[in-house]
């Protein structure tokens, strides 16, 4: 290969260039395809993350509505369910939530707090106050 040959295909090219124009164009096209593929992948990840955020917001909205209703009604069985749901949202994997026993939740978790305090903490957490 002489000093005037393309380093990619071996064809003769301009003495100042390392690659001939067709090879250079092909390399640019490949780089553009790679960039477009990365962009498309990033868009898909963004869509998935957006969908996940929407779902979490919907779950939080339902939980807030439930807790607000409980705050007014103070139905003990519904309060137990709400407390279990709040534990699942705020502390995934908590032993009480894994047991799924509402009586265990009510006897081990709720007595440590007044129901009103539990609801206030849960509402603050769900609103982002953590």
Query: Tens digit of pLDDT for each residue in 62-93?
Result: 777 777 776 666 656 666 666 667 666 666 56
Q: Tokens 């903490």 identify what position?
A: 121
Residue 69 falls within a domain, yes or no? Answer: yes
pLDDT of 32 over the 90 cut: yes
pTM: 0.42
Q: Tokens 């005037």 identify what position?
A: 4
> Average pLDDT in the 14-18 region?
66
Residue 66 falls within a domain, yes or no? Answer: yes
Residue 34 falls within a domain, yes or no? Answer: no
Residue 105 falls within a domain, yes or no? Answer: yes
Number of structural domains (the chain) is 1
Residue 9 falls within a domain, yes or no? Answer: no
pLDDT at position 73: 61
Q: SS3 of 86, please?
A: helix
Q: Which residue has the higher pLDDT, 35 or 81?
A: 35
Mean pLDDT, rounded, of the chain? 70
Range from 20-24, 72-76, 94-98, 115-119 carrying the lowest mean pLDDT = 94-98
pLDDT at position 103: 47
pLDDT of 39 over the 80 cut: yes
Residue 68 falls within a domain, yes or no? Answer: yes
Residue 93 falls within a domain, yes or no? Answer: yes
Residue 46 falls within a domain, yes or no? Answer: no
What is the extent of the structural domain holding 110? 54-126
Q: Report the C-alpha gap between 99 and 24 in whole angstroms.
A: 64
CA distances from 124 to 49, 78, 83, 115, 116 (A): 24, 19, 14, 14, 12
């Amino acid at each position: 290969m002489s000093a005037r040959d393309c380093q990619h295909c071996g064809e003769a090219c301009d003495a100042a260039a390392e690659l001939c124009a067709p090879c250079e164009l092909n390399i640019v096209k490949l780089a553009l395809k790679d960039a477009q593929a990365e962009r498309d992948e990033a868009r898909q990840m963004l869509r998935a993350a957006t969908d996940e955020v929407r779902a979490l917001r919907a779950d939080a909205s339902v939980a807030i509505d439930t807790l607000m209703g409980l705050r007014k009604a103070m139905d003990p069985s519904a309060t137990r369910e709400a407390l279990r749901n709040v534990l699942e949202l705020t502390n995934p994997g908590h032993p009480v939530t894994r047991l799924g026993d509402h009586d265990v939740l009510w006897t081990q978790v709720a007595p440590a707090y007044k129901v009103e305090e539990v609801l206030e903490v849960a509402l603050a957490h769900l609103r982002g106050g953590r």
